Amino acid sequence: MESMNESLATHYLQDSIASLRAYQKMADKAIAQLRDEEYFVTLDAEANSIAVIMKHMAGNMFSRWTDFLSTDGEKPDRNRDMEFVIEPKTSKEDVVAYWEKGWQRVFDALEPLGADDLERKVLIRGEEHTVVQAINRQLMHYSYHIGQIVFLAKHFRSAEWKSLSIPRNRSAEFNASLQSQPGAGNSEERLDEVLKFVQNSREAK
């Protein structure tokens, strides 16, 4: 197979990292609005709390991204089932610290990659993936769970929720604001523009 165009490969890597940073920032902005006890609240007996989702995501991150290019992404010492259990003495600070270390493991693995690495093969549960496929798999997984985190945080805050997206009935105004300044270049910058617009809207009230 022909080598991937180097500039396209570089763009893909940069955009993937920016997208992951945007997802982390969105989740962090959501959980920053929680009361400590709300990290551990479940909506019903079958639901996961925000703390469980964060613990599961971090566990996945340590497994998938440790020695990313050289070992199977499902590490033999991973206990996935325990990622869905919160020990009684676990604090919000414990959960957040583990979450932040998980994200750091992601970026420590991705940032050194170059264009030539994208077609290399890695294993996840014994199944062969190109690096592109492995990155895409995790992008989809993390965005799915971050959507859950944002939904739950918004549910808990209700009318006090500080929006992380364009306010209702303000899309045209937001689009006009983008026209008046240079466009944001990547996912993280686009999220920053939305958050800035939301903040300015709140301050204008």
Q: Assess whether pLDDT exceeds 60 at residue 3.
A: no
- Has residue 26 been placed in a domain? yes
Look at 34 and 192; give whichever has higher pLDDT.
34
- List pLDDT tens digits, range 102-149: 999 999 999 999 999 998 999 999 999 999 999 999 999 999 999 999
- Has residue 1 been placed in a domain? no
pLDDT at position 56 is: 98
- Has residue 47 been placed in a domain? yes
Q: Count of CB atoms within 10 A of residue 197's CB?
A: 19
Mean pLDDT of 83-92: 96
Residue 16 shares a structural domain with residue 114 = yes
Q: What is the largest CA-CA distance in the chain?
A: 57
Q: Cα(first)–Cα(last) distance of the chain, in Å?
A: 57
Q: Assess whether pLDDT exceeds 70 at residue 182.
A: no
- The number of folded domains in the chain is 2
Least confident of 22-26, 154-158, 196-200: 196-200
Mean pLDDT of 64-79: 98
Residue 205 shares a structural domain with residue 110 = no
pLDDT at position 200 is: 66
Q: Assess whether pLDDT exceeds 60 at residue 86.
A: yes
Exposed/middle/buried for residue 202 (C-beta within 10 Å: 0-12, 13-18, 19+): exposed
pLDDT at position 2 is: 47
For residue 77, give the DSSP letter: T
Residue 148 shares a structural domain with residue 134 = yes
Instruction: Write out the residue range of the structural domain in which residue 72 sits.
Output: 6-161
Mean pLDDT of 33-37: 97
Residue 168 shares a structural domain with residue 135 = no
Residue 180 shares a structural domain with residue 115 = no
Angle at which helices 50-65 and 92-110 cross, to 10°: 30
pLDDT at position 203 is: 61
Residue 173 shares a structural domain with residue 84 = no
Residue 20 shares a structural domain with residue 47 = yes
